[in-house]
Chain A
Amino acid sequence: MSLSEEQVTQIAYLARLTLSDAELKDNTKDLNAILGLAEQLGAIETDDIEPMAHPLHMTQRLRADVVTEQDHSDLFQSIAPKTGNKHYLVPTVIE
């Protein structure tokens, strides 16, 4: 499997990255090298192996349903680029 420059352009768009022509070429090459490395797995018989969802062989600990958080919105909003009426403000999103 290898990625075309068009596919990498699309991935870059989804990640909101702007790539110059040179960067596009470099990234395509690098990504294909990584995919090539992963492709070595194709040589191994994996039919009976359950895909791993996490590298740690542990299961999720669960939390009791209790509210312990306080309102720190003033602190959080002090680092936001823009706020108003206790809201975070962003450039208008048009639907």
Chain B
Amino acid sequence: MEWETVIGLEIHAQLSTKSKIFSSASTEFGQAPNSQACAVDLGLPGVLPVLNVEAVNKAIKFGLAVNAHINQRNIFDRKNYFYPDLPKGYQISQMDLPIVGEGEIEITVGDNTKVVGVTRAHLEEDAGKSVHDMFNEYTAVDLNRAGTPLLEIVSEPDMRSAKEAVAYAKKIHALVQYIGICDGNMQEGSFRCDANVSLRPMGQEKLGTRAELKNINSFKFLERAINLEVERQQDILEEGGQVVQETRLYDAVKHETRSMRSKEEANDYRYFPDPDLLPVEITDELMALIKSSLPELPVEKKARFIAELGLNEYDADVLTSQKSLADYFEIMLKNNQDNAKLCANWVMGELSAMLNKNQLEIEQSLVSAQDLSQLIVRIGDDTISGKIAKDVFKAMWEGEGSADQIIESKGLKQMTDTGAIEAIVDEIIANNSPQVEQFKSGNEKILGFFVGQAMKVTQGKANPKLLNQLLRDKLS
């Protein structure tokens, strides 16, 4: 039987506020254990949560960015369950009236573009962190993270493959960084994905039984975990079995998913409105203010790159896929208004390759956008050829100086002296008569041989355009 995969994602984006969602304790990452867990975060008797205005503003920002309905009256509920890293015995979350209602986002996989529905996004507090391998007989609990504001973004079950799920997750990841509500750091857990995966016979409308995959902390693992789960469910279904609704933990080391039995019985969370918190009301004025403060969104930036810079769809898509990448590219553009395509090629080509090779993110690039833009200027004004520029770039990466310094100190300036190049061309033609014959008998490809010879003599410094022109003139 042919099966259709159905995937919905729940994304937890940590909102980049200074203080926690309901207390004035710091949210800074990596501090001494429990040094940032105050009485409110610990759930000590007599404390009262007070909502952080920035958490509300950032949630609204997200809602507006995905064209969602904003519930201008929204309510906090208690989600009840027991776990050592949840000191109150409940998590403050939003159930019936979340701050962000239905919205949508467009994703692209290969040549296909589709719209994925955002069901809702709600504010909630994060739990603490349990460390299981610090002591033999104990689980150690660090509550610094308890009370950190999260926006849980729930999608419709609109995705049909692991690739689509990754495309959606990346789109949301880019968006939250663009609008400055989340730093997107997956290693530090600022952006986490859970995937609901089910299969159904192709053509059937009713959804199959789903499993929820947790503990996925990279896009690569998201794709792997979903594909693994699809295989597992397909095996069960094809043997006539039934998929059990459960939570499964992805283990990246063993490359397997396994059942988390502890979660099954806790499924009844007995939500009820939190009496400590009053309903939140969002005024029209605040909505308008936040709307006017929204920066250019990725989809708008992409359209502008195509319309104003003349980039193709693919380049524009790649360059806007990450805010940091788009920022880098736009800094380069300042000095290279007329060479947008060249800048794009360099960012997506040489720079990306170098970053990949050194396993660095663009923020960690050893060559700044400003410095790389100077190199592009020198290609643009014919000081150096594109080929020589690659060597200059390597030297810049090695810290040998700016583009101009390296061009100067290594004597890499392009030869544009027609007379000098002509002399070299004459000599090469005189010394290679068999190849000259071949060219004359119609072998156009042999021209490359002459170019190569000339470049060898000039150590790559001959202006390629000039050289080609001279060679053609002389040979024919």
Interface residues of A (CB under 8 A from B): 10, 13-14, 16, 53-54, 56, 58-69, 71-73, 76-77, 82, 84-93, 95
The docked-state distance in angstroms from the alpha carbon of A59 to that of B74 is 10
Q: How far is the CB of B354 from chain A (nearest CB, A)?
A: 38
Q: How far is the CB of A62 from chain B (nearest CB, A)?
A: 4
Tell me, yes or no, whether B158 is within 8 Å of chain A by CB: no
Q: Verify B135–A91 contact, CB threshold 8 A.
A: no
Q: Verify B278–A54 contact, CB threshold 8 A.
A: yes
Q: How far is the CB of A30 from chain B (nearest CB, A)?
A: 18
Q: How far is the CB of B43 from chain A (nearest CB, A)?
A: 11
Q: For chain B, what secondary structure do more than half of its interface residues adopt (helix, strand, loop), or is it mixed?
A: loop
Q: Which residues of A contact B56 (CB under 8 A)?
A: 62
Chain B residue nearest in CB terms to A13: B265
Using A62-B53, A67-B18 as known contacts, say yes or no to A86 and B279 having CB atoms under 8 A apart: no
Q: Verify B33–A65 contact, CB threshold 8 A.
A: no
Using A87-B131, A88-B34 as known contacts, say yes or no to A65 and B139 having CB atoms under 8 A apart: no
Using A65-B19, A92-B132 as known contacts, say yes or no to A59 and B279 having CB atoms under 8 A apart: yes
Q: Mark B23-62, 1 if CB is under 8 A from A, else 0.
A: 1111000001111111100101000001111111000000
Q: Verify B141–A59 contact, CB threshold 8 A.
A: no
Q: Mark B267-290, 1 if CB is under 8 A from A, else 0.
A: 010100101011111000000000
Tell me, yes or no, whether B427 is within 8 Å of chain A by CB: no
Q: How far is the CB of A60 from chain B (nearest CB, A)?
A: 4
Chain B residue nearest in CB terms to A61: B50
Q: Which residues of B contact A84 (CB under 8 A)?
A: 134-135, 138, 140
Q: Verify B38–A86 contact, CB threshold 8 A.
A: no
Using A65-B53, A69-B38 as known contacts, say yes or no to A92 and B278 having CB atoms under 8 A apart: no
Q: How far is the CB of A87 from chain B (nearest CB, A)?
A: 4
Using A53-B75, A54-B273, A65-B53 as known contacts, say yes or no to A87 and B142 having CB atoms under 8 A apart: yes
Using A54-B279, A59-B279, A62-B56 as known contacts, say yes or no to A91 and B138 having CB atoms under 8 A apart: yes
Q: Verify A95–B262 contact, CB threshold 8 A.
A: yes
Q: Can you sample 19 A-B contacts with CB below 8 Å?
A: A56-B278, A60-B51, A62-B50, A63-B24, A65-B18, A66-B18, A67-B24, A67-B26, A68-B24, A71-B36, A73-B32, A73-B33, A73-B34, A82-B138, A84-B135, A86-B33, A87-B142, A93-B84, A95-B260
Interface residues of B (CB under 8 A from A): 17-19, 23-26, 32-39, 42, 44, 50-56, 75, 80, 82-84, 97, 130-132, 134-135, 137-143, 249, 260, 262, 265-266, 268, 270, 273, 275, 277-281
Q: Verify B82–A16 contact, CB threshold 8 A.
A: yes
Q: Which residues of B contact A61 (CB under 8 A)?
A: 50-51, 278
Q: Verify A69–B25 contact, CB threshold 8 A.
A: yes
Chain A residue nearest in CB terms to B282: A59
Q: Which of A14, A60, A88, A92 contacts B137 (CB 8 A)?
A: A92
Q: Which residues of B contact A64 (CB under 8 A)?
A: 53
The docked-state distance in angstroms from the alpha carbon of A60 to that of B48 is 12
Q: Verify B26–A89 contact, CB threshold 8 A.
A: no
Q: How far is the CB of A15 from chain B (nearest CB, A)?
A: 8
Q: Which residues of B contact A67 (CB under 8 A)?
A: 18-19, 24-26
The docked-state distance in angstroms from the alpha carbon of A89 to that of B132 is 10
Q: How far is the CB of A6 from chain B (nearest CB, A)?
A: 13
The docked-state distance in angstroms from the alpha carbon of A63 to that of B280 is 12
Q: Verify B138–A69 contact, CB threshold 8 A.
A: no
Q: Verify A76–B42 contact, CB threshold 8 A.
A: yes
Q: How far is the CB of A49 from chain B (nearest CB, A)?
A: 15
Chain A residue nearest in CB terms to B41: A69
